Structure 1
């Protein structure tokens, strides 16, 4: 296992990166952030990642790169694309990056990376059993981790409840779009997390996304038998998780 890796977090508006000590979860560099190029085309994003790595001081020999990305990722191929070009769909993204960087590349879904980081270094550190990470934002991202092992590409934000894809009702974007009170939004979250509880019987829920900073306004309103806690790693979670997976942590 490598002890250091580069973590890259690609989003619809920004691309962040840092060098990570994967044994401790500490950043060994400043976090660098550049805007995601307009249109989010694959080669443009690769070029921007190259600029991020240059700002980090370049790659050291044998230093792997972990990349988290807003897509379902199977064996390095991106099967969907959120807030980036549709040209990512069906693309062997890992191979594209390997052509540009002389390094081992690990591509992973962004929610999976964040959830994995939380189990290694954050809210679920040393927790056994099934942990479900959820990110509440434009949609609902999810990650399943069982006894420290990531089960990739769980798209549980798309559960159908009341005849609809329920992230359209329970994501934070729905609260903003419909100007819902915390109480009204929490009622929708109650239905969503209640369904996850019934279907999966997890040992812990973690809530991430920008709104998790305001967890005191809505998490106490939920009545669940499973503990539900806010994420702790904030904007570094994707970087840390991607780096740890790339390094074989």
Structure 2
């Protein structure tokens, strides 16, 4: 059991991406990222050892000087792949050495403090559902990120159902992300109205399966929702995400808070 706790709801969240790794200090009680974010490029190749060094460097930077997070507090880290019980099960944009690796243990040993890892889409979705566009919404919330592929998070009453790979739903014989991702629109040169028809097919299927209370759209394309949302005909309210690039950091910090509760028994 830990005897030293973070002060006033402050946690470190680190978001690992295929090209960059960023971290920040989050005050979950106030719902804000304090100070500036720390950015470093993702090492190439993105081996476990090299990535853990970058995570350690960012953590050291965020805990330097007069900082409200002490050196015993858990750190939350996102990972761009499937994570089950702290073990990475995929590595689409990372070195294949990550597959079936206990990344919780890897980062915990390198940082010499508890680390809790969460899938990146799950982290961003959880943050949006709890303190972003879905704040206060009961029932099922779907957070769908339209980018290179389709990322997704499934939240019920504020609780995450992990590893919901809804971008791989089969729509008309294809993985949805092959035809309905933001990259698919660019690759095929679709107009926004043509792309909206693809999204209509995809979101109608999600609506039929899950009957959500709210759908939140994330990714860079969420800044252009006026181009396609007016063309959609859904029963479910559908809105753009609000936390933008900080969503993953927020979600990682939430994961750190959950880890602290498990370690100390204190919420």
Task: Give your verdict on TM over 0.5.
Answer: yes
C-alpha displacement of 1:62:
2.6
Following superposition, the deviation at residue 57 of structure 1 comes to: 3.3
- Unpaired runs of 5+ in structure 2? 259-266
Q: What is aligned with 2:80?
A: 70
Residue in structure 2 matching 1:215, options 225, 234, 245: 225
Q: How far off its partner does 1:154 sit?
A: 0.2
| Count of residue pairs brought into register by the alignment | 249
Query: 2:101 maps to what in 1?
Result: 91
Distance 1:178 1:102 in 2: 48
What are the superposed Cα offsets for residues 174-233 of structure 1, whole Å, 9 maximum, x if unpaired? 011111111111100000000000011010000000110111111111110000000000
2:63/2:71 contact within 8 Å kept: no
Aligned with 2:185: secondary structure? helix
TM-score (norm 1): 0.97
Secondary structure (helix, strand or coil) at the match of 2:35 reads coil
**Residues 21 and 27 in structure 1, CA contact (< 8 A), matched pair in contact too:** yes
Match of 1:177 among 169, 184, 187: 187
Match of 1:28 in 2: 34
Deviates more, 1:196-205 or 1:102-111: 102-111
Q: Following the alignment from structure 1 to structure 2, what is the Cα–Cα distance between the partners of residues 112 and 220?
A: 27
Q: Mind listing any 5+ residue stretches in structure 1 that lack a counterpart?
A: none
Residue 28 (structure 1) shift: 2.1
Between 188-197 and 15-24, the greater mean CA deviation after superposition: 15-24
Secondary structure at the residue paired with 1:212? helix
Residue 100 of structure 1 pairs with residue 93 of structure 2: no
Q: Which residue of 1 is the match for residue 238 of structure 2?
A: 228
Moved more, 53-62 or 73-82: 53-62
Match of residue 204 from structure 1: 214
Of the two, which has the highest radius of gyration? 2
Q: Tell me if 1:17 matches 2:10.
A: no
How much is the aligned-residue C-alpha RMSD, in angstroms? 1.3
**Secondary structure in structure 1 of the residue aligned to 2:217:** strand
Is the Cα–Cα contact under 8 Å of residues 12 and 62 in structure 2 kept in the other structure?
A: no
